[in-house]
Chain A
Amino acid sequence: MAGENGYIVDVKELTKKFGNFIANDRLTFNVSPGEIFGFLGANGAGKTTAIKILCGLSSPTSGEATIAGYNVYRETEKIKQNIGYMSQQFSLYEDLTVYENFRFYGGIYGLSRKVIRKRTEELLHELNMEKVKNRVIHSLPLGWKQKLAFSVAIIHQPKLIFLDEPTSGVDPITRRQFWEMIYKTAQDGITVFITTHYMDEAEYCGRVSIMAEGKIKAIGSPNDLKSQYDAHNMNDLFIKLVRN
């Protein structure tokens, strides 16, 4: 289910101020269900502030935004129930086993024991990791943890998942595999909202927006943007937009 006009993320003139500092300046964009949306920008461009608002963690100063049809001012509880979140720190408990992590995160989203068991089996089966179900997280390699963290983040079958630099510090092969997971998830109808500093990854996104100084400088598919700004690749484009 998405908002009135069919968008899962629908943002109009969203502004967030901290005193005199404008962290987000009239952001306007939308994301359709099943899309892979890249949210790019240099450090300090205001990405984190925007994501916090979209996750229901803080309120905007002005403007409008709905997530899965729910208002970011008034319906944060419902937003939280319908989104997943994964950060670069992977957010698994190192001293718990794989299954205990699934059970815990499933539990805080209010899933029943039976559903948690079923979802865990499904997700581990997809990853081919049934054997590590009872292994403690800290004994697993980084790439595995990353994939498990992603699975944990979608255990409650959210409509939208926020991935905040999920591939930092991971080797290229694992990154490649991780993107395969992202594609599969998007095919299953879960919208992916991802931030990254790797410009080759930006090419994998359906559409990207590029932020600088609190504003969205450009938005569109990677190919359209490249031709529009006469850039050879995303790296080139990013530097052009962020410099000016």
Chain B
Amino acid sequence: MKRFFGFVTKEFYHIFRDVRTILILFGMPIAQILIFGYVITNEIKDVNIAVLDHSKDEVTREITDKLLSSGYFILNKKLETNDQIQEEFEKGDIREVIIFGDNFARKLQKEKAADVQIITDASDANTANLVRNYTQAIINDYVKEKNATILQPARLVPEIRMLFNPELKGTYMYVPGTMAMILMLISAMMTSITIAREKEMGTMEVLLVSPLRPAQIILGKVAPYVMLSFANAVSIIVLGYFVFGVPVQGSLVLLLAESLLFITLALSLGILISTVSTGQQMAMFISMFALMLPTILLSGFIFPIENMPEILQWLTLIMPPRWFITIIKNIMVKGTGLLFVWKETLILVGITLVFIVLSVRNFKIRLE
């Protein structure tokens, strides 16, 4: 035990004496969670629009005011002629032009119909869609309010409730996703690099010749990273809560336990990577390519799994982050307990065991 403790101490020296390691361990998680939380979002805010109002009456003014007071839109320019539209879009300052037809109020009253045209800049298709939906919703809302006072034919109005995330906040998705990505990347990459470094420096040979058992060597190398990754997980949860308002509806203990399981999984993957790579460079490249892209693309973090081609959907089944994200979303956002995530938990346990068995086998082969 004393030998083991000495080993862990040495490992902490390595970590705390290397500025790059410190930056990756502590700077990267915080930076990434802030970047993902603020930058990647499905919500729109302060979108620049222009209005071309051919009738300039009470109703069109009211609709414009309603749009601008929503917080989603900023009036960049009032246009006077149709020719200006193309020009404005080409300048690129605005994303949307709303055009009210002439005699708007009168037509609405007389014919119960008036013309509004929405033109969006679809060079960015996602934003264009969002902007259109928001605009449409606000205008419909206005019409509905007005119609309440006017006699109207019977209509079906679905009442919509958004469960678990009523405000449709993007961070509810991104905080769990980023957490999975960071834990995976840091734990796996850092362990694979640190073990590969011992190999590269030739110190691994000396350790193997010493009375330390291979398992002790590996555990001694990994133990500090378990602690640091766990600290990272906690700080991500805290940041998510205080900065982005992502709640922890379920059990905090369960959430931490699942995080620890996922960290163990990532570390065993890191060990596996180190057994197949010859040096630090190789370990780093494998970690980056084998972990980063699948974690982001195939975990359901950013792109919904249901929309993927079937082959890729199958592939996501072996992506650990997919299961981890499901688990922590369940615990954090839905507030469900182990009863609802035991299947995902078992899958993670299984994958961890596979990694450990493979690492032990590779390690032995290398010794031969």
Contact = CB atoms under 8 A, between A and B. Distances in A.
Q: Bound pair: A and B?
A: yes
Interface of A: 18, 55-58, 77, 80-81, 83, 85-96, 100, 103-105, 107-110, 153, 162
B209 A89 contact: no
A110 B4 CA distance: 10
Contact of A91 (B2, B6, B9, B201): B201
A18 B367 CA distance: 13
Contacts of A162: 209
A104 B201 contact: no
B243 interface: no
Contacts of B202: 87-91
Contacts of B205: 85, 87, 89, 91
29 contacts: A56-B209, A57-B367, A77-B211, A80-B210, A80-B211, A85-B210, A86-B206, A87-B205, A89-B201, A89-B202, A89-B203, A91-B205, A91-B206, A93-B13, A93-B201, A95-B14, A95-B17, A96-B14, A100-B10, A104-B7, A104-B10, A105-B210, A107-B3, A108-B3, A108-B207, A108-B210, A109-B210, A110-B2, A153-B206
B293 interface: no
A57 B210 contact: no
Given A89-B201, A94-B201, 9 more contacts: A81-B211, A87-B206, A89-B202, A91-B203, A93-B13, A93-B201, A93-B203, A104-B6, A108-B210
A89 B201 CA distance: 7
The 7 closest A-B pairs by CB, nearest first: A89-B202, A107-B6, A85-B209, A91-B206, A80-B211, A95-B17, A104-B10
Interface in B171-206: 201-203, 205-206
Interface string B22-65: 00000000000000000000000000000000000000000000
Contacts of B87: none
B196 to A, nearest CB: 14
Contact of A95 (B6, B13, B211, B368): B13
Nearest to B220: A108
Nearest to A84: B209
Contact of A80 (B14, B17, B203, B209): B209
Nearest to A80: B211
Contacts of B208: 57
Given A55-B209, A77-B211, A80-B209, A108 B6 contact: yes
A115 B9 CA distance: 19
Contacts of A77: 211
B6 A83 contact: no
B211 A93 contact: no
A88 B18 CA distance: 25
Contacts of B297: none
Contacts of A100: 10, 13
Contacts of B3: 107-108, 110
B212 interface: yes
A93 B202 CA distance: 10
A96 B210 contact: no
Contact of A96 (B13, B212, B367, B368): B13
B195 to A, nearest CB: 14
B100 to A, nearest CB: 70
Given A83-B209, A95-B17, A103 B367 contact: no
Contacts of A104: 6-7, 9-10
B6 A109 contact: no
A207 B207 CA distance: 29
B213 to A, nearest CB: 8
Nearest to A136: B17
Contact of A108 (B14, B212, B367, B368): B212
Contacts of B14: 93, 95-96
Contacts of A56: 209
Q: Identify which of B6, B14, B206 gathers the most chain A CB atoms within 10 Å of its CB.
A: B206
B368 to A, nearest CB: 6
Nearest to A82: B211
A101 B368 CA distance: 28
A118 B211 CA distance: 21
A90 B205 CA distance: 11
The winner among A92, A95, A153 for most chain B CB atoms within 10 A is A95
A28 to B, nearest CB: 23
Contacts of A153: 206
B3 to A, nearest CB: 5
Interface in B327-368: 367-368
Contacts of B9: 104
B18 A95 contact: yes
Most chain A CB within 10 A, of B3, B208, B211, is at: B211
B206 A85 contact: yes
Given A85-B209, A95-B17, A110-B211, A58 B368 contact: yes
Contacts of B17: 95
A18 B368 CA distance: 9
A226 B13 CA distance: 51
Nearest to B3: A108
A88 B206 CA distance: 11
A213 to B, nearest CB: 20
Nearest to A116: B6
Of residues B6, B10, B203, B209, which shows the largest number of chain A Cβ atoms within 10 Å of its Cβ?
A: B209
Contacts of A110: 2-3, 211
A214 to B, nearest CB: 16
A224 B104 CA distance: 116
A100 B208 CA distance: 19
